[in-house]
Structure 1
Amino acid sequence: MTLRITSLTVYPIKSLRGISLNNAELTPQGIKHDRVFMLYAVKPNNKWEKMQLSHYPQCALFDQRIATIPNEGSTAGNDRNGKKSMIIVEYNPPKGSRPDEDSANKTGSKLSTVPSKLEVPLEPDISTLECVDVELHGSPASAYRMGGAYDEWFASCIGIPVVLVYIGDGKRPVLGETLDATKLKSKASSPKEEAEKPGTATRGWISSLTSYISSATTSKPKDEPAPWLTFTDVAPLLIASESSLNDVSSRLSQPASTPSPASLEVGMYKFRPNLVVAGQDVPPPAWDEDYWGELEITTREKQTEARKVTLLLTGNCVRCTSLNVDYETGRPAEGELGSVLKKLMKDRRVDKGSKWSPVFGRYASVDFDSGSEFEGEDAVKSVWVSVGDEVQVTRRIEERSVWDWPGL
């Protein structure tokens, strides 16, 4: 099946609005700089709680973009022209509120007393930062506090005490079995080929069983590093299909009282994928991605010679109330747009490992060992992909993946 990339998105600070890209550098941890920063709320008992849209919809009010500016101070993080890349964060007061009104949290904080924008170095000098222990979804890591000025700016906008942390050289372990791409590769040892229709296996059950037994008795090479994550939830990349998004939109409709009742359009941004695909000529069926095992991207890396990049699809993305957030108000949406999760609950609870949560999208990792371009000890494990690149479904799976990340 031939597809194409229709959008690429990076989220340097987790839970804030994403940044659309024309080109993206893929690394073992996903798009470079994706979710390397994260906000934690400081609770009354001084414990930190992760800030995600499901519980802190105010995060949807922040735009972020990457800019390169002159840097006259430390040379840490500078490019060869003496400039530094910064994340420019801008707070958008809830739609309908006054510019000086903290209507998101009703704390009485006056936004007019703080700058409207914040500059965050994209690659901070960690030697000057306090190291702290954090965890996300039970996966622990060392990280670095960015400092009081950053905490205070976000707290002034959101209305509660928060801290901004940077993953730096920290590494969150991948938990569970199915989301570990190195284990998936050992089980998917059959030749790559595309099935003719969704749900049709490319291997018989005997060969599948043989592959499983073989992988269970083969140990991982000692020099193969364990996979690790930044502040991405459970995998380096999230892949979504426009066909499935269209199916979601078809489930929502305008009130019957409107002159021309029609379906509402649900923005892909609500699902927060890194990479979105659509049919090159003919769109794939909605939810066909449930059965995608591998994708192969043909990229020209910014107009250089074509290369093949393999993505291993490791698991389903199970969804929460973040789908119902109104990005203009920083609150749960009203009406049909506030019922997206409920609409999906009807028939998209298809993962046996997370039977109460609907599925939209697939998690993925880049297989840097699949092509000769990446082989050898000195290989640079990164590759550029672009909007418009061709994508092939090169392996399908017989049954949907089963969620097994502990505690989620």
Structure 2
Amino acid sequence: METKSLYVYPIKALRGIKLQSARIGPQGIAHDRTFMLFQISEPDGELKKMQVDSHPQCALFEQRLSDDTISVRYRGPEHKDHEEESLLIPLTPDTATLSRINVNLHGSAPSSAYSMGTPYEDWFSARFGFPVKLVYLGDGKRAVLGDTLPPKGQQKPAAETKGGWLSSLTSYVTGKEEQPKKPWITFTDVAPLLVTSESSLHDVSTRLPPDEPMPMYKFRPNIVVDGQGEEAWAEDLWAELTVDTKHKLLLTGNCVRCTSLNVDYETGKPAAGELGGVLKKLMKDRRVDAGSKWSPVFGRYAFPAADQDDQGGYFELRVGEEVEITKRNTERTVWDWPGL
């Protein structure tokens, strides 16, 4: 097999950015989901997370990377006939000028982050039509929960490591150097990486009219492999992938799917016709995870293995590189994330 596509999402829920190469580290692709949007509920000011399933308008925002800047452009139907000026956001803001805020996502303990404030939040609020807060994770960290995430055996005592990956994962103030270091994630859902296969995507497209194939970007992966030599859905049992003969990815859990698959990225609304019923089509035979029995599965969550070539867990991944399945499970993993 080989890598066919790479995607990064600096601002969670907005359109992904296709890459030809990516720097992979303990938290996945560099800068992936380090920003997130929250709707400010009125009148209590409660923050409600914004994702494509709950806020399909997010699909109308295109983001690009240029030097140290994220460029965001709104592609709403009312702007089809003219180019709107982009919003420019620093990729790594100076947090000394920002106010701290606690946010909660998918049942993790509240994480410390930073509110970007105006003019960024005013720009998004004007286009969504309600008050929006743009949050930057900065030095904040989200805990990885559940028994299957992260991969067992990765949390070694610090005394057994040689720096590298685990030394870059600061524990949640253990206070003792010899205690295990705890992996953490950004605003990704439950793991640093999501791996999908073109073989399985083809199976999804066979359920749709020939002139309306399912696009991979709706599954919002980080790493897409071609699946050559593998049947559709073979990834359900993949446990370890080795990239370029040396870089290992540990696949630890299934990605269970929601109504975001039904969204039309051109209108920011549920798609018309059969593309608007993709989730229901998959529910017929892809509810294969006993831990989330009502949701269909597409793709696998992954963690980079520890100590990648003494580079602190970091390596470069490029489109076209060879990918080998080096471990398989005999049974499907069971979804396990408290509260989800």
TM-score (norm 1): 0.75
* Residue 207 (structure 2) pairs with residue 267 (structure 1): no
Task: State how far apart, in whole Å, the 1-side matches of 2:248 and 2:31 are.
Answer: 20
* Structure 1 equivalent of residue 239 of structure 2: 293
Q: Is the 8 A contact 1:249 1:263 kept in 2?
A: no
Show structure 2 runs of 5+ residues with no match: 157-176
* Structure 1 equivalent of residue 89 of structure 2: 120
1:261-340 correspondence to structure 2 within 5 Å: 262=210, 264-279=212-227, 282-298=228-244, 308-340=246-278
1:2-401 correspondence to structure 2 within 5 Å: 3-44=1-42, 45-68=44-67, 85-94=68-77, 97=78, 116-139=85-108, 140-183=110-153, 222-253=178-209, 262=210, 264-279=212-227, 282-298=228-244, 308-369=246-307, 371=308, 373-374=309-310, 379-401=311-333
Deviation at 1:222, TM superposition (A): 3.0
Deviation at 1:93, TM superposition (A): 1.4
Q: Which amino acid aligns with 1:49?
A: K
Q: Deviations over 1:110-152 (max 9, x none)?
A: x99xx63100000101111100000110112100001121110
Alpha-carbon RMSD across the aligned residues, in angstroms, is 1.9
Task: State how far apart, in whole Å, the 2-side matches of 1:185 and 1:292 are.
Answer: 21
Structure having the higher Rg = 1
Secondary structure at 1:181's aligned position in 2?
Answer: coil
Task: State how far apart, in whole Å, the 2-side matches of 1:14 and 1:249 are.
Answer: 26
* Structure 2 equivalent of residue 104 of structure 1: none
Q: Is the 8 A contact 1:243 1:283 kept in 2?
A: no
Deviation at 1:324, TM superposition (A): 0.3
Query: Which residue of the other structure, out of 318, 334, 337, is the alignment partner of 1:402?
Result: 334
Deviation at 1:184, TM superposition (A): 6.7
* Structure 2 equivalent of residue 76 of structure 1: none
Deviation at 1:233, TM superposition (A): 0.3
Show structure 1 runs of 5+ residues with no match: 69-84, 101-110, 187-220, 254-261, 299-306
Q: Which amino acid aligns with 1:92?
A: R
Deviation at 1:180, TM superposition (A): 1.4
Q: Is the 8 A contact 2:41 2:47 kept in 1?
A: yes
Task: State how far apart, in whole Å, the 2-side matches of 1:52 and 1:92 are.
Answer: 17
Give the fraction of aligned pairs with identical amino acids, expressed as a percent.
57
Deviation at 1:404, TM superposition (A): 1.0
Task: State how far apart, in whole Å, the 2-side matches of 1:98 and 1:39 are.
Answer: 22
Task: State how far apart, in whole Å, the 2-side matches of 1:296 and 1:338 are.
Answer: 36
For this pair of structures, how many residues does the alignment match?
318
